[in-house]
Amino acid sequence: MPLAYLDYSWDDIVPIPQDDGGDNPLAPIAYHDDYKTAMGYLRAVMSIEECSDRALQLTADLIFMNPAHYTVWAYRARLLLALRKDLESELIWIEEVGQQFPKNYQIWNHREIIVDKYDNPIRELPFIEVMLELDSKNYHVWSYRQWVVRRFDLWITELDYTDRMIEIDVRNNSAWNHRYFAVFGKGEDTAKTVIDDEIDYAKTAILKAPQNASAWNYLLGVLKRSNRSLSEIEDFCNDLVAPPTTEPSTDVDLDQITSARALEVLADIYASRHEVEKAAQAWTLLAEKYDPIRENYWKFKKEQTIQRFAATA
């Protein structure tokens, strides 16, 4: 696209060139000529603190050339507020930029500044949904959604939204993280009935994908946050693992293990009850069969537990 700054009258401005460190810079950056020209004008107008429409347009040109330039975004925000520009028009413009550069976090920082001043969230959740349709795990978009929810007290929408997102993709860790935020983000005491519902919700999701770390992490996080014992989910884990139920030396039926995470939780439950041999057996299975990538970790846990209980025996 043609750059708008080329149509400006810049006779009164002398561009300030990039200083890469003298005549023989060690590692000069090979900027495109248009970008170098635009940045020269930006340095010049910023040096005199110019507040004008042409400076605002210049920031737009630069953002489309390099959307990650924090200084340009910061200057643009200052200009918009000083010139008393229509903030809804700016939000519409950001939506265009956001869809072209969805992974750029500067866009979301800028939008937060503008929306905070605009003081109206009417466009926010619909726009966020559009962006998450493009990439349902975009960290910057989810972080921005959390800011919007807090800023405008929009908590009532969030559990239903995460329901939809998790239904689409039960492995969407970002959606699970946001659900945890929706339940506990206010910092208030959460009702026991809500905790019970969330535990059941996570269990149902785990049964759909027993190896899915996201749902397991959510379940364990809810239990920990609410000071509930792991033992509450022992029977649930037993349904996913065939653990030793009589003598500790009884072998686990390897064919019945459908979730390494369930086996991991059971190992921690056994250890908490001082059932060291059963815990050690579970960690051996994880190291040798079900999670060999973390073999050294499981061996460490096993040895550490055996040594700890031997010292207290």
Angstrom CA distances, 130 to 42, 57, 98, 101, 291, stand at 32, 26, 10, 13, 37
- State the Cα–Cα distance between residues 295 and 283, nearest whole angstrom: 9
Is there a contact between 162 and 179 (Cβ–Cβ < 8 Å)?
A: yes
Q: Which of 36, 85, 103, 203 is an active site residue?
A: 103
Active site residue 103: yes
- State the Cα–Cα distance between residues 211 and 213, nearest whole angstrom: 6
Q: What are the helix (H) ranges across 83-191?
A: 87-100, 105-118, 124-134, 139-152, 158-168, 173-184
DSSP at 191: P
- State the Cα–Cα distance between residues 88 and 65, nearest whole angstrom: 23
- The tokens for 70 are 């924090």
Q: CA-CA-CA-CA torsion for 204, 208, 210, 212, nearest 10 degrees?
A: -100
> Which are the catalytic amino acids?
103
